[in-house]
A = this chain, B = another copy of it.
């Protein structure tokens, strides 16, 4: 379909989740034009009322027929539901923008960070477009502008991931657990396998045979696909930290050519969606608290890496629920509109 301005019908699958709520908020904050918005969720959540500002919607059950009348649906649901439902929606000519990892690595499915490779949407005819892993998207917002300057060859990254990445229940678990512990009590872990308050969990997602987690390998596979760098080398260690909603990444990036810090800073500053915050001597560097509920990803601590040739070390922070999920998905919808796909 190719509806005229303001005639767009949009669905949100997983509307009651942490990302779903942010999607509805950001669609309005960014004045995304639509005529109809349909929040969809499991049968369990159907009938609930969602509201944003002075508007409210009744949640409907996410069944295949629900997509017959929609132009685009942003999916933020579990992998199993998505694998079943997204192809059915796409088959009914509703374009799917999917937050899950279900289709990201399929050859004909575009995997998009609009500032980096939004132009792939111009030619693709796929009815499914994948939204990248949150940590990968945020890391690339710092590394892609540097790649254009110096030619990225290798990333060694350690992450500091907020609990928002595990959903609304995890945010609540950190809050209640920290409170219980500070009051001298206990709050047994439910979402996580271990206590997250005042602790660190060196596990995000499940382990693969090589000792990496799926999450850690996403930066390799998705990074290669998004930036079109099939030979990129990536080693990543993903750690869950007791922070509510912004992810941080400490990265060493190695390049083909000798990097220059001043050029790097200018490239970050000039890149839409990245914000240079790099005057450490004056206490200026990005922190998760400052990048929660913010569109831009903050980049700082840029320096020549002391251990690797032609490399920079840096620190990047971005809102996991926004650039890591909802914002990027809406930016994909905006790009689909620009290219006349919706």
Using CB atoms and an 8 Å cutoff, list the residues of chain A in contact with chain B. 154-156, 158, 160, 174-175, 178-179, 182, 193-195, 198-203, 207, 210-212, 217, 220, 233-237, 239, 241-244, 248, 250, 252, 261, 280-281, 283, 285-289, 300-308, 311, 313, 315
Contacts and interface: CB of A to CB of B under 8 A. Distances in A.
Q: Work out how many copies of this chain go into the complex.
A: 2
21 contacts: A154-B307, A158-B250, A160-B160, A175-B182, A198-B242, A199-B287, A202-B285, A202-B301, A202-B315, A207-B280, A207-B281, A211-B301, A211-B302, A211-B304, A212-B306, A217-B306, A233-B306, A234-B307, A235-B313, A239-B248, A241-B242
Contacts of A212: 303, 306
A210 B233 CA distance: 26
Given A156-B156, A158-B250, A250-B158, A306 B220 contact: yes
Contacts of A193: 283
Contacts of A241: 160, 200, 241-242
Contact of A303 (B182, B211, B252): B211
Contacts of A307: 154-156, 233-235
A177 to B, nearest CB: 10
A190 to B, nearest CB: 15
B202 A287 contact: yes
Contact of A313 (B237, B248, B261, B285): B237
Q: Which of A155, A194, A199, A280 has the most CB of B within 10 A?
A: A199
A309 to B, nearest CB: 10
A194 to B, nearest CB: 6
Given A156-B252, A235-B306, A243 B207 contact: no
